[in-house]
Structure 1
Amino acid sequence: MARPANANAANTKQRIIDAASALFAHKGRDGTSVREIAENAHVNGAMISHYFGGKDGLYQDCIRCLYEALGTGQAALEVALTNGENIPLVIESTMHHAIKFAREKRDMIRLVMRHVLDRGELDPKRRDDVLLPFLDKASAAIAPLSALDQSAIRMGLQSLIFLTVRYALSTDDELKQITGDEHQFISTIGAHLAATSLHLLGLKGDTQ
């Protein structure tokens, strides 16, 4: 049975986004050509204009895809934090998930970091729409159980983001050397981030 046309279109768009994200991350927007993207995605260059309106539109879509995925994860965390669940356990579980997610999305995260290196800050709209509301909501939910004030919790959350991104961008070889673990190095990093999160957020693992 033939696949629906919209399914084929969605697959084509995703291939283009995946190829473009990797190239933009390694070469920057200006250093990447439409031809390179098309070749890596195994599509005709005209498809990029058709689906994204050109390279700039594709670049913005690559960024959007990452923030949409981050937004989904943040929303789930915010629900868990405000539903009376065991917050330390939620935080620990989140850090294990976060490093796995970040490793899977390395190209997209590297792309965002290139923007930060070039501009010295996150895109202001993304920061205002995604990061700052998350810091506000998460720190407010954690504060009643923390030994720290809300401002310190915000800084702890931001530090955890920085740490996760740094480990996400490391090569497998570097993480193996850092952890001294040849096989379970991602789990080792996840456990370290989970333990670090409790300290940075002023929480205890057995807090209810």
Structure 2
Amino acid sequence: MAMGSSPVVLGMLLTFASLAITLYGAHNAPWHHLPVWWDLYGNPWIYGPRWVALLFVPVLTLLVPFALYQAATRNNNVEDHGAASKQSIFNIVVLPALFLFTIQTYVILPAESDPKHKFPARIFVSNTALWLLIWFGHNLKHLEPNNVIGIINPWTTNASWDIVHQRAGLIFEISGILLFLASFVVPIGWPMLATLLVLWLGPWVISFAFAYSKAPSSDEPLLG
């Protein structure tokens, strides 16, 4: 897939940077067991071995974009895409690495190094809004038809692709802005979790429903 340099290369660079930052900051987390999961109020809930807790996210920083890239390169349609679509696919493939690097640096490591291991929920939710909603939605609007990345379901067709992804991209962006603002004011706990689930899952549900509403007659070939 011609997208300039492979997004896996950027994923590797982010992984190495994440590992370097983690190893540098490991001396601030001297305990043998560290939290790997927190409750709704940011308190440690489940503990695991020190290096598992510290290195789990950096490993995912490489593996997730690598898996997405392998799937994208198997789609022959992508070779014929324009520059904007190829760039958007690059951005979406590398998106998990960018998100996980940010979470490792500004959420996980501070939580592991904190004496009480308090999870910074507001930073996590605000970054979810920025990367997984706003940035994803922006790139979604520039995608051309393919059967790997985008709003992929039985009702997504070549004919309806543009309008579905333009609307879906806008919905994700609006939801992301709302979630970003909410991350600073909604109480941590059940209210924050409910807000996160509604504003993150909502765009997917609405986008799939919109794709269904735009489904043409059954004799038009589906995407792919």
TM-score (norm 2): 0.29
The structure carrying a bigger strand percent of its residues is 2
Instruction: Identify the structure with bigger relative contact order (alpha carbons < 8 Å, sequence gap 6+).
Output: 1
The structure carrying a bigger helix percent of its residues is 1
TM-score (norm 1): 0.31
